[in-house]
Amino acid sequence: MATKTFAVPKISCNHCVMTIKRELSALGGVTGVEGDVKRKEVTITFKTDADLAKIKETMAEIGYPIEKEVR
C-alpha cells in the first residue's frame, strides 16, 4: 500500500475534487482519495505501482493532469 500527494494545477473548486474522487475511486487498487483546493493537491492511497500508472492516465483523461509528486 502506498500514499502519494500530487500537484494538480487545474483543481479550482470542490466540484473538481468530487470529480477526481469519483473517477479514481472507481479504479481497482485505489483505496483512498483526498483533495485540497487551496493547495491544488490530491492525495491518493493505492495498492501497487501498476495502479499508479492507471491513476496518472485517468487523471489526464478527465482533464486534471498530475504536474508532479509533492510528497
The predicted pLDDT at position 36 comes to 98
Q: Nearest Cα to 30, choosing from 12, 56, 8, 10?
A: 56
Quick: pLDDT tens for 22-68. Answer: 999 999 999 999 999 999 999 999 998 778 999 999 999 999 999 99
Q: Nearest Cα to 10, choosing from 33, 19, 28?
A: 19
Top-tier CATH class for 2-69: alpha beta
Prediction pTM value? 0.93
Q: Cell match 501497487: residue?
A: 48
User: What are the structural domain ranges in the chain?
Assistant: 2-69
At 49, the amino acid letter reads: D
